[in-house]
């Protein structure tokens, strides 16, 4: 059910908020053990908040998300509810502040069902690096859900929430959405405040939305976007009602297909599905333009240097002094934090910290970080170039569909290269939405991404919705 329909049902009392939350909580209890999309389920708070939401609905004062049950990724701070980042380091960390995005949802009296599972500190594309155990794909529990917002995507796909907040640093909302057959929206950098999102790579991180449709994603984005004085990188530009253009005619719209995104590294089934989506758009009157993003071949390297450098610095604060895991070992401060961090972080996080610190070390900074920053500037230029002749860009969301658990998570280079389709969007700070455009021979969803001009969420959501209107989705088996 669309969020707008759910809203109508709540407002017309066809369904009660408490009844609705129970429906989800029961389903979580029944099904989540097979996919492990939640780290923490907030059962009591959810029921209490649903009751409160109901009284607001009864008073006729409902906001768009009043009484709507959502899940929130476990790297987004929730006051008095533990926020673990799926790490042993923060296993028992309970923030006493809300992320701005969460605060905005609370102001609308949404209902938080729980905190979703993810790759540790959002580093990964499989949600298998979680300290609490990996997430499984609702379409096939032998397969990964993608990541890092794998729990968020799986929770939406398995109907264990109405929609979800995730975070996207290099594709972490879009790729799991593609793998789980749902819609994932990564807004323009600065559109959603990062305050309270535990930082991975500050210049790339953005809170995003995973939902059943582009329209639903826009519906939630409307609630959480906007300038926030708590985040200096938050944008003052208004994006307006992002669902405004949904249903509008897209005839004449120019859709660019950068040829580098359709190279040999992309699975043939994926390419075919995305090309047939392009055909669909051509058939409804859009103009398909072949275009080019020449620097794509350097994008993954640049992304991993910048994101790891920032991550190494951002994660330095986890020293066990004020909060989080603290080792019993070590006689001196340096010794103790070495043990703390050795015990508290998983392998992938350690790998990124090492990589990042290496890239920032004196003598290597120019060769790595500075060059990566140069490529970043180049990619921004190339996108500007493309957008001078296109309205949106169409690419695959990932080179493959969801793979079997254990297939490639232990091969870091393979894992990193799989981010090729998504990272440039973060590097350039652009908005993008991923939706399902087909299924592979095993019935696993294939995702395509629509990338827009900065702050033009409206257009990509409208173009995405147009496709979703015609596309026949297969429900997840779970």
Partner 1 sequence: MKYIPVMGLEIHAELSTASKVFCSCANDFGGGENTRVCPRCSGMPGTLPLINQNAYTLAARAGFALDCRVNNYSAFDRKNYFYPDLPKAYQITQFEHPICTDGFVEVCGGRKIRINRIHIEEDAGKLVHDDYEGVSMADYNRCGVPLIEIVSEADFRSVDEVLEYVEQIALRLKYAGVCDAKMEQGSLRVDVNISLMPYGSEIFGTRAEIKNLNSFKSIKRAIEYEIERQTEILESGGKVVQETRHYNDNHGDTKSLRSKEEAHDYRYFPEPDIPPIFMTDEQINAIKADMPEMPHKRLIRYTDKYGLPEDDARLIIADKALSDFYDKAIEVYPNYKAVSNLILVEVLRNLNDSGISAENLQFTPKSFAETVKMSENGVISKNAAKDIVKILFKKDRDPKKIAEENGFLMNNDTGALEAVINSIISQNADIVQSYKNGNNKVFGFLMGQVIQQAGKSANPQLAKDLLTKKIMEQEG
**By C-beta, is 202 or 327 nearer to partner 1?**
202
Residue reference for tokens 């807004």: 187
**By C-beta, is 84 or 295 nearer to partner 1?**
84
C-alpha neighbours within 13 Å on the C-beta side of residue 135:
36
Q: How far is the CB of 51 from partner 1 (least distance, A)?
A: 28
Instruction: Specify burial of residue 14 (Cβ count, 10 A radius: 0-12, 13-18, 19+).
Output: exposed
Residue 353 CA to residue 316 CA, distance in Å, equals 9
Radius of gyration for the alpha carbons in the chain, expressed in angstroms and rounded = 21
Q: How far is the CB of 231 from partner 1 (least distance, A)?
A: 5
**Could you tell me the CA-to-CA distances from 254 to 161, 284, 286 in Å, in that order?**
35, 12, 6
CA angle centred on 373, ends 367 and 379, rounded to 5°: 125
**Could you tell me the CA-to-CA distances from 236 to 81, 169, 226 in Å, in that order?**
30, 21, 7
Of 126, 127, 172, 308, the catalytic one is: 172
Residue 339: Cβ within 10 Å count: 17
**By C-beta, is 121 or 467 nearer to partner 1?**
121
**By C-beta, is 229 or 283 nearer to partner 1?**
229
Q: How far is the CB of 331 from partner 1 (least distance, A)?
A: 12
- 227 in Cβ contact with 236 (< 8 Å): yes
E strand or H helix that includes residue 320: none
**By C-beta, is 205 or 409 nearer to partner 1?**
205
Of 63, 73, 295, 308, the catalytic one is: 73
Q: How far is the CB of 146 from partner 1 (least distance, A)?
A: 23
3-state helix, strand, coil in the chain (%, to 5): 40, 15, 40
Q: How far is the CB of 46 from partner 1 (least distance, A)?
A: 22
- Give the alpha-carbon dihedral of 262, 266, 267, 269, to 10 degrees: -20
**By C-beta, is 365 or 471 nearer to partner 1?**
365
Written as six digits, the tokens of 167 are: 């975070």
Of 148, 177, 213, 308, the catalytic one is: 148
What is the bridge-based pairing of β-strands 136-137 and 140-144?
antiparallel
Whether 73 sits among the annotated catalytic residues: the reply is yes
Whether 276 sits among the annotated catalytic residues: the reply is no
H helices, E strands: number in the chain: 15, 13
**By C-beta, is 80 or 469 nearer to partner 1?**
80
Q: How far is the CB of 317 from partner 1 (least distance, A)?
A: 5
For the chain, the first-to-last Cα distance in angstroms comes to: 17
Residue 79 CA to residue 268 CA, distance in Å, equals 46
Whether 172 sits among the annotated catalytic residues: the reply is yes
Residue reference for tokens 């859009």: 286
Q: How far is the CB of 76 from partner 1 (least distance, A)?
A: 8
Residue 94 CA to residue 77 CA, distance in Å, equals 8
Q: How far is the CB of 402 from partner 1 (least distance, A)?
A: 29
- Residues near 182 by Cβ (< 8 Å), separated by ≥ 6? 153, 156, 157, 210, 211, 212, 436
Footprint of partner 1 on this chain (CB under 8 A)? 76-77, 83, 85, 90, 93, 95-97, 99, 194-199, 201-203, 229-233, 309-310, 312-313, 316-319, 321-323, 333-334, 337, 357, 360-362, 365, 369
- Residues near 406 by Cβ (< 8 Å), separated by ≥ 6? none
Catalytic site positions:
73, 148, 172
């Amino acid at each position: 059910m669309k969020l707008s329909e759910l809203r109508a049902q709540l407002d017309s009392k066809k369904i009660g908020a408490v009844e609705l939350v129970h429906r989800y909580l029961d389903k979580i209890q029944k099904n989540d053990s097979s996919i492990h999309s939640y780290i923490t389920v907030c059962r009591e708070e959810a029921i209490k908040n649903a009751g409160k939401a109901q009284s607001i609905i009864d008073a006729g004062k409902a906001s768009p998300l009043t009484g709507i049950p959502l899940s929130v990724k476990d790297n987004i701070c929730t006051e008095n509810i533990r926020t673990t980042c799926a790490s042993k380091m923060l296993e028992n960390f309970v923030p006493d502040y809300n992320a701005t995005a969460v605060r905005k949802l609370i102001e609308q009296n949404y209902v938080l069902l729980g905190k979703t599972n993810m790759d540790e500190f959002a580093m990964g594309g499989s949600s298998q690096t979680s300290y609490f155990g990996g997430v499984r794909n609702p379409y096939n529990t032998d397969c990964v859900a993608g990541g890092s917002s794998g729990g968020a995507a799986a929770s939406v796909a398995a109907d264990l929430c109405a929609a979800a907040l995730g975070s996207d640093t290099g594709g972490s909302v879009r790729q799991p959405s593609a793998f789980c057959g749902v819609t994932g929206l990564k807004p323009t950098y600065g559109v959603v405040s990062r305050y309270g999102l535990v930082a991975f790579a500050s210049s790339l991180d953005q809170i995003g939305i995973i939902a059943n449709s582009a329209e639903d994603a826009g519906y939630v984005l409307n609630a959480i976007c906007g300038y926030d004085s708590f985040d200096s990188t938050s944008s003052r530009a208004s994006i307006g009602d992002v669902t405004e253009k949904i249903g509008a005619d897209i005839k004449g719209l120019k859709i660019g297909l950068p040829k580098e995104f359709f190279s040999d590294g992309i699975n043939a089934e994926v390419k075919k599905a995305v090309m047939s989506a392009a055909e669909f758009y051509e058939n409804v009157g859009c103009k398909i333009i072949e275009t080019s993003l020449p620097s794509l071949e350097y994008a993954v390297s640049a992304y991993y240097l910048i994101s790891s450098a920032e991550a190494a610095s951002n994660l330095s604060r986890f020293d066990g002094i004020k909060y989080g895991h603290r080792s019993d070992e070590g006689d001196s401060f340096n010794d103790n934090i070495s043990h703390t961090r050795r015990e508290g972080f998983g392998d992938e996080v350690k790998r990124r910290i090492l990589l990042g610190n290496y890239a920032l070390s004196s003598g290597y900074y120019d060769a790595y970080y500075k060059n990566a920053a140069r490529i970043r500037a180049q990619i921004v230029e190339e996108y500007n170039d493309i957008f001078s002749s296109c309205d949106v860009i169409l690419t695959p969301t990932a080179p493959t569909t969801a793979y079997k658990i254990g297939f490639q998570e232990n091969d870091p280079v393979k894992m990193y290269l799989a981010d090729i389709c998504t990272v440039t969007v973060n590097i350039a700070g652009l908005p993008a939405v991923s939706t399902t455009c087909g299924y592979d021979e095993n019935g696993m969803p294939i995702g395509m991404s629509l990338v827009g001009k900065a702050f033009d969420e409206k257009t990509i959501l409208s173009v995405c919705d147009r496709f979703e209107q015609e596309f026949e989705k297969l429900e997840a088996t779970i």
